[in-house]
């Protein structure tokens, strides 16, 4: 086949969404899982000293014409350890810093790799080096791939002979579909529509994406303009594979050996499509996998590398600041109040967050735990907390935008559900808002790793009269402490109420005890003014079912909202 994925290579690709990275499903409800292991590995703290959604393919050489038939060993990032050598190694292992002989991420290993013809990679975006081991590049730069054993960071050599690590999701193999401007990877149909629908884009703006529900097929998404000038619309076409991976087609009367040939053909003529293809939809740069390659394994970073710039908010457990790492990278820094958690429990929960990688989950980059207050360093989201965003009248939101945001949240929670992770505090205050795509902000679920330990302490305090988010909590969780994925689904229904009411407090006029009593007796909040009746009856009330087993899954909820505005004529058009 030409420059395209084979079915096998696509199915077993190394995208951050579907690779097997050794993550073990963990249920937050098992309180002994981390505490036993981490107490066993308890170590003394370290003091810092001075120190400094992607797809892989292996394309073949298909014909180029139209067819006519159907770990950095020993490195601890400038840290000096105090305590016994055994304690030091134990703590380093928890943070991923311990020397263990498996140093497959180091330049030394790459230099000793078998001398074979080097593949070329193409830079999809600009990247500025953040540490001595990273390599800066501009969009469009070509580099030789030296080592791809690390799924997040590839070791390359540029055309000037300089070597270093580059983020995997910022580059693509030269002959792979993802190197093409029009290839968007595996994204939701709703996101594809937003990418082609920006007001300044012409008719014929398009992209090709891998369908989420079927990794072996693609879809073509096109923006078209109504002939009467009444506005624009988006259409989708399935791209199917020929038998034995011989090529692709939208209609059997015209087949192509490679996706780029299909694009070239329909760029010259519509031939049954809604319009001729004109320009690839602009790409949105992905979230970087780490602060740098250096911090991928060594994510306990020295506190002096961080600068707190502006306070963004505060809560029961600490403050949130806009900060900078090494003076160049904007990050969010959450400071934890002293005594909130033990170092071991904190690291155990942070490790869960570090392993989670999804476009709708806030990315954890690093921690500071050598002294209190502990720091959590995450990606910075420019829109802040969703609760404040909803309450700000300057942020106009259509029903379409609200549903899109709701779908994004369900997508992030679906990822946690698949890994049997329980959030325990899903609410608008724990969802962050990023940049807009065609008027719809990107939203990401936050605090999904720390919720369990923090909530355990809060439940205990609640029984003595302390503040507790009763209005967001499922009855079985509020009364018995039985937190499950299904209790998260209940909270998701409350979150929908927050969104459609633009940030109103749930159960208005009721205090916590009254809420518990009324919900137990069968009371459910009425449909919010701006909420479609279908969403209220088919989603919100079902999320609030007294029997947790009858509540929907996040997989269903994501599918429901991602498909919500698909017209009755079907999701895909035919020629």
**Residues tagged active-site:** 425
Helices (H), 106-188: 107-111
Helices (H), 12-114: 32-40, 85-95, 107-111
Tell me the torsion sign for CA atoms 112, 113, 115, 121: negative
Please, are residues 208 and 250 in contact by the beta-carbon 8 Å criterion? no
Instruction: Name 533's Cβ contacts closer than 8 Å, sequence gap at least 6.
Output: 527
CA of 278: how far to CAs of 248, 340, 533, in Å?
A: 20, 56, 39
Q: How many Å separate Cα 556 from the centre of its chain?
A: 19
Report d(CA 495, CA 497) in Å as an integer.
5
Report d(CA 438, CA 195) in Å as an integer.
7
| Phi, psi of 275, deg, nearest 5 | -165, 170
Residue 334 labeled ligand binder: yes
Helix H or strand E encompassing 237 = strand 232-241
Partners of 228 in beta bridges = none
Report d(CA 186, CA 106) in Å as an integer.
30
Tell me the torsion sign for CA atoms 71, 75, 79, 85: positive
- How many CB atoms are located within 10 Å of the residue 48 CB? 19
Partners of 364 in beta bridges = 378
Dmax (CA) for the chain in angstroms is 77
**What are 554's two structure tokens?**
């996040």
Query: 354 exposed, middle or buried (CB, 10 Å; 0-12, 13-18, 19+)?
Result: buried
Long-range interactions of 154-158: CB distance < 8 A, separation 24+ = 154/121, 155/107, 155/110, 156/121, 157/118
Please, are residues 282 and 195 in contact by the beta-carbon 8 Å criterion? yes
Residue closest to 170 by CA, chosen among 122, 206, 216, 202:
122
Query: 159 exposed, middle or buried (CB, 10 Å; 0-12, 13-18, 19+)?
Result: exposed
Report d(CA 209, CA 224) in Å as an integer.
18
Report d(CA 267, CA 269) in Å as an integer.
6
Q: How many Å separate Cα 128 from the centre of its chain?
A: 22
Query: 452 exposed, middle or buried (CB, 10 Å; 0-12, 13-18, 19+)?
Result: buried
Instruction: Name 403's Cβ contacts closer than 8 Å, sequence gap at least 6.
Output: 535, 561, 564, 565
Q: Which residues participate in the annotated binding site?
A: 334
Binding residues for ATP: 334
């Amino acid at each position: 086949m030409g420059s395209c994925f084979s079915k096998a290579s696509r199915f077993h690709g190394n995208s951050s969404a579907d690779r097997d990275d050794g993550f073990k499903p963990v249920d937050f409800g098992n309180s002994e899982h981390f505490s036993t292991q981490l107490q066993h590995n308890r170590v003394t703290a370290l003091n810092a000293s001075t120190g400094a959604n992607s797809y892989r393919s292996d394309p073949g050489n298909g014909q180029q014409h139209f067819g006519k038939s159907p770990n950095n060993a020993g490195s601890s990032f400038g840290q000096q350890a105090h305590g016994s050598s055994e304690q030091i190694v134990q703590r380093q292992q928890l943070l991923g810093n311990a020397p263990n002989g498996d140093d497959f991420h180091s330049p030394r290993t790459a230099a000793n790799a078998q001398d074979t013809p080097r593949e070329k990679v193409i830079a999809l975006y600009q990247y500025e080096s953040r540490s001595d081991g990273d390599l800066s590049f501009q969009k469009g730069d070509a580099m030789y791939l030296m080592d791809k054993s690390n799924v997040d960071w590839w070791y390359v050599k540029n055309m000037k002979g300089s070597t270093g690590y580059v983020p995997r999701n910022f580059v693509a193999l030269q002959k792979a579909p993802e190197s093409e401007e029009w290839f968007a990877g595996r994204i939701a149909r709703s996101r594809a529509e937003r990418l082609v629908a920006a007001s300044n884009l012409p008719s014929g703006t398009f992209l090709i994406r891998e369908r989420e529900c079927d990794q072996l097929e693609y879809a073509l998404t096109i923006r078209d303009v109504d002939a009467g000038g009444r506005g624009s619309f988006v259409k989708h076409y399935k791209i199917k594979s020929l038998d034995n991976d011989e090529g692709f087609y939208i209609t059997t009367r015209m087949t192509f050996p490679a996706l780029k040939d299909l694009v070239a053909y329909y760029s010259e003529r519509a031939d049954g499509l809604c319009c001729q293809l004109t320009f690839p939809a602009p790409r949105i740069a992905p979230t970087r996998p780490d602060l740098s390659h250096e911090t991928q394994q060594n994510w306990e970073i020295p506190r002096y590398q961080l600068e707190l710039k502006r306070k963004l908010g505060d809560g029961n457990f600490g403050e949130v600041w806009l900060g900078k790492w090494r003076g160049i990278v904007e990050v969010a820094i959450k400071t934890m109040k002293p005594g909130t958690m033990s170092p071991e429990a904190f690291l155990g929960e942070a490790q869960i967050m570090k392993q989670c990688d999804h476009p709708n989950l806030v990315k954890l980059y690093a921690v500071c735990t050598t002294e209190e207050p502990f720091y959590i360093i995450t990606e910075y989201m420019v829109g802040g907390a969703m609760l404040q965003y909803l309450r700000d009248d300057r942020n106009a939101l259509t029903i379409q935008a609200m549903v899109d945001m709701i779908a994004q949240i369900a997508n992030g929670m679906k990822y946690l559900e698949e890994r049997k992770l329980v959030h325990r505090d899903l609410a608008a205050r724990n969802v962050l808002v990023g940049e807009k795509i065609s008027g719809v902000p990107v939203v990401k679920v936050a605090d999904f790793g720390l919720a369990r330990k923090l909530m355990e302490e809060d439940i205990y305090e609640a029984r003595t009269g302390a503040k507790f988010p009763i209005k967001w909590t499922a009855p079985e969780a509020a009364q018995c402490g039985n937190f499950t994925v299904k209790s998260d689904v209940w909270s998701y229904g409350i979150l929908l109420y927050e969104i459609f009411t633009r940030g109103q407090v749930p159960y208005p006029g009721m205090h916590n005890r009254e809420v518990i009593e009324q919900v137990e007796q069968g009371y459910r909040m009425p449909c919010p003014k701006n909420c479609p009746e279908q969403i209220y009856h088919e989603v919100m009330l079902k999320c609030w079912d007294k029997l947790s087993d009858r509540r929907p899954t996040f997989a269903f909820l994501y599918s429901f909202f991602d498909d919500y505005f698909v017209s009755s004529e079907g999701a895909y058009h035919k020629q």
